Structure 1
Amino acid sequence: MLSKLRDEGVIKAWGLGVNRTEPIELTPALDGPKPDGFLLAGRYTLLDHERALQRLLPMAQAQEQGVGMVVSGPYSSGILAGGTHFEYQDAPPEVVERVGRIKAIADRNGVSIKAAALQFSLAHPVSAAVIPRATKPSRIAEDLAALHEQTPDRFWRELREARLVSPQAPLPSGI
């Protein structure tokens, strides 16, 4: 039905919004219509990107028409924006430790962790947009500033060397 509406020009595109990669991974095997894009919440972040990189994003790139991804939740429920929550609850110690390692590298390179989180989520060629979720209007200006913040190549290199970012992940500077 949605593809028919798209083909008739009633809608421009349709997609699937989920917080797990598996439902999107199943779409190529469907006999029926395929979505034009998808919204992936919390699964392409500095903290959680392995599964998306291994399965979902290569599939999306391989689609003939190209499938776009909107990344939602790039701050991993707030922990990558100075908060204490991950997956909408208090972050477990291993996540707090990992964020601390990312933040130490960010601080050493003069990069805000918010900028790193936003820019990482947008660096993949399939990423079309990001929804950072502002809790108050002033956060929108902060997010915009973070998006345009300069992040040196050495920052991304250090994250990769520390194994905090997958070697397969496209990085904002193209490293």
Structure 2
Amino acid sequence: TLLEQDPLESLLPAVEKHGASIVIGGPFNSGILVGRETWNYIKAPDDVMTRVRAIARVCDAHGVPLPAAALRFPLAHPTVASIIPGPRSAEELNQILEWWETDIPGSLWSDLKNEKLIAANAPVPA
């Protein structure tokens, strides 16, 4: 996810080595990437909130809602077959669909890498 790229080091290479794929079940990191203060089902620590604000600032500079970037980012990795955004209502589903339709410039991903907000070796959407 935009907040957690540790799987790039061991999990995803192992999945790729075995010719398998995975589904990302939490592209919004339990809500923090859609404006909630919950991260991995607990109140987000200050360092996580600081990082989310920094990512949001870069997204805002490119006119991209943070949740739109959060939806697209995991799907750039070749082993990720799908994501589960987890809408809880028709309204949330419609919002997710709107974010999905957002055009995201490649410069957004470059800026996130340049500011070390995502891993330098992370695949990014085309």
Residues in 2 aligned to 1:121 and 1:140: alpha-carbon distance in whole angstroms:
19
Q: Counterpart of 1:57? A: 12
Q: CA deviation at 1:168?
A: 1.3
Q: Counterpart of 1:149? A: 102
Residues in 2 aligned to 1:112 and 1:72: alpha-carbon distance in whole angstroms:
20
Is residue 124 from structure 1 mapped to residue 77 from structure 2 by the alignment?
yes
Q: Higher helix proportion, which one?
A: 2
Backbone CA RMSD of aligned residues = 0.9
Letter in 1 for 2:94: A
Is residue 164 from structure 1 mapped to residue 117 from structure 2 by the alignment?
yes
Residues in 1 aligned to 2:90 and 2:42: alpha-carbon distance in whole angstroms:
23
Q: CA deviation at 1:135?
A: 2.4
Q: CA deviation at 1:151?
A: 0.6
Q: What is the TM-score with the length of structure 1 in the denominator? A: 0.70
Q: 1:1-150 residue pairs with structure 2 within 5 A?
A: 45-50=1-6, 52-63=7-18, 66-150=19-103
Residues in 1 aligned to 2:21 and 2:101: alpha-carbon distance in whole angstroms:
22
- Report 1 or 2 for greater relative contact order, CA contacts < 8 Å, sequence distance ≥ 6: 2
Q: Which runs of 5+ in 1 are unaligned?
A: 1-44
SS at structure 2 position matched to 1:170: coil
Residues in 1 aligned to 2:11 and 2:41: alpha-carbon distance in whole angstroms:
23
Q: CA deviation at 1:123?
A: 1.0
Greater Cα radius of gyration, structure 1 or 2: 1
SS at structure 1 position matched to 2:116: coil
Q: What is the TM-score with the length of structure 2 in the denominator? A: 0.96
Q: CA deviation at 1:56?
A: 1.0
- Number of residue pairs matched? 126
Q: CA deviation at 1:62?
A: 1.5
